[in-house]
Amino acid sequence: TPRVFSGIQPTNHLQLGNYLGAVKRFVEMQAKGVETIYCIVDLHAITTWQDPADLRHATRELAAGYIASGLDPKRSILFNQSQVPGHAQLAWIFNCVVRVGWMNRMTQFKDKAGKNAENASLGLYAYPSLMAADILLYHATHVPVGEDQKQHLELTRDIATKFNHDFGVDFFPMTEPVIEGAATRIMSLRDGSKKMSKSDPSDQSRINLTDDADMIAQKFRKARTDPEPLPDCVEGLKDRPEAKNLVNIYAALADTTPDAVVTEFAGRGFGAFKPALADLAVAKLSPIADEMKRLMAEPDEIDRILGNGAERADAIAAPILAKCYDIVGMIRSR
Ligand code: TYM
């Protein structure tokens, strides 16, 4: 039976790329009626320095973002990673399965560690192993993510394969990445060659889910574009990364395809397209922002939801972890 798992780091505010590439698709999976487990990966967040008060705030804000976007804590399991001890426990086992050579090929580590990799935390290096543990702790079959997580999901399959092979078992499943739709890679509004990111120093480069209507309109107005009008087919967006990005954003927000969007706006300039995009974004995002604010006024209620989610997650995870320990040869006599 299918079981969906995914996670987001509680660092800074949710941005439009996270929403369209991940959260909105989590909600679509929930609507299919399959089992859905969505995590707030606070253990991953601390692989780079997080102020403790900011971490707590960002964790609650992400929970509020999940719920405000349409995730229902009764239908999906919503929880924060550190409340289920199995994540860290399975990650240790996987640290002993994964090879240093495999980890050295992880491009996200290179990007995040930058030039000064000697000074990166060991946790940042081991990050993909913890991510594999998140997924395999639940024997998850499907993982909706953006394009940037593809390599980590391939590693997850490699770890599952090696564990199964080393111990002569058929225990961990081959998880399918689900990277679909118009928004698998939303780019920066300032630079069509960089992905939109929570950590970009320029706030103008992204739309935050917490931005108000004026801010959203202003950011789209100032978004970088070229002087050409929109083409009449998507092939015409080739070599026009900024234009393509705005079309993708429109398509994802409107639940349609980039093809349909260029057909609608063919021949029109950005002077017409940008205000239409801003209006659409405000219409879709401002109810979410309002609901997030309302939820954030009751942090105890958020914590209660996360605690309940963690109990349900642990009920699935604990037997799988116990079986894994048995396979490895650990004595468990208490
Ligand atoms: P994180 O927190 O960086 O991003 C969360 C999700 O948002 C997607 N995303 C984007 N999608 C489209 N365009 C963008 N510009 C964009 N930016 C981010 C990401 O692909 C991701 O799906 N390692 C993960 C968190 C994680 C995880 C997991 C995910 C930890 N354990 C287990 C799935 C399963 C991460 O850093 O995501």
> pLDDT tens digit string along 9-64?
999 899 999 999 999 999 999 999 999 999 999 999 999 999 999 999 999 999 99
- What is d(CA 108, CA 113) in angstroms, rounded to the nearest whole number? 8
Q: Closest Cα to atom 19, ligand 1: which residue? A: 146
Does 157 fall in a domain? yes
Residues 215 and 131 both lie in one domain: no
Closest approach atom of ligand 1 to CA 135: 32
Residues 161 and 240 both lie in one domain: no
Residues 12 and 139 both lie in one domain: yes
Please, are residues 3 and 141 in contact by the beta-carbon 8 Å criterion?
yes
Does 83 fall in a domain? yes
Residues 162 and 237 both lie in one domain: no
Residues 69 and 134 both lie in one domain: yes
> pLDDT tens digit string along 181-214?
999 999 999 999 999 999 899 999 999 999 999 9
C-alpha of residue 271 to centroid of ligand 1, in Å: 32
Residues 323 and 247 both lie in one domain: no
Does 236 fall in a domain? yes
Q: What DSSP letter does each residue of 194-259 carry, written as one string? A: SB--TT-S-GGG--BTT--HHHHHHHHHHS---SSPP-SSGGGGTT-HHHHHHHHHHHHHTTS-HH
Residues 218 and 243 both lie in one domain: yes
Question: What mean pLDDT do residues 304-316 have?
Answer: 98
Active-site residue flag, 238: no
Domain that holds residue 171: 3-179+298-328
Does 196 fall in a domain? no
pLDDT at 60: 98
> For the chain, how many structural domains are there in total?
2
pLDDT at 116: 86
Place 334 in a pLDDT band, splitting at 50, 70 and 90: confident
pLDDT at 115: 87
Please, are residues 323 and 86 in contact by the beta-carbon 8 Å criterion?
no
Q: Closest Cα to atom 33, ligand 1: which residue? A: 6
Active-site residue flag, 323: no
Residues 268 and 303 both lie in one domain: no
pLDDT at 104: 96
CATH value at residue 128: 3.40.50.620
Please, are residues 186 and 245 in contact by the beta-carbon 8 Å criterion?
yes
Active-site residue flag, 293: no
Closest approach atom of ligand 1 to CA 15: 17
> pLDDT tens digit string along 269-302?
999 999 999 999 999 999 999 999 999 999 999 9
E-assigned strand segments in 100-214? 142-144, 176-178
Per DSSP, what are the bridge partners of residue 143? 177
Residues 73 and 107 both lie in one domain: yes
C-alpha of residue 145 to centroid of ligand 1, in Å: 6
Report yes or no on whether pTM surpasses 0.95.
yes
Residues 166 and 113 both lie in one domain: yes
Whole-number Cα distances in Å, 193 to 131, 174, 201, 224, 244: 26, 32, 16, 11, 11
Task: Find the catalytic residue in 150, 162, 194, 198.
Answer: 198
Residues 239 and 137 both lie in one domain: no
Residues with CB under 6 Å of ligand 1 are: 5-9, 17-18, 21-22, 41, 44, 131, 134-135, 143, 145-146, 148-149, 152, 183-186, 195-196
Does 188 fall in a domain? no
Q: Which residues are annotated as a binding site?
A: 9-11, 17-18, 134, 146-148, 186, 195-199
For the chain, the maximum distance between any two Cα atoms, rounded to a whole number of angstroms, is 72
Residues 48 and 148 both lie in one domain: yes
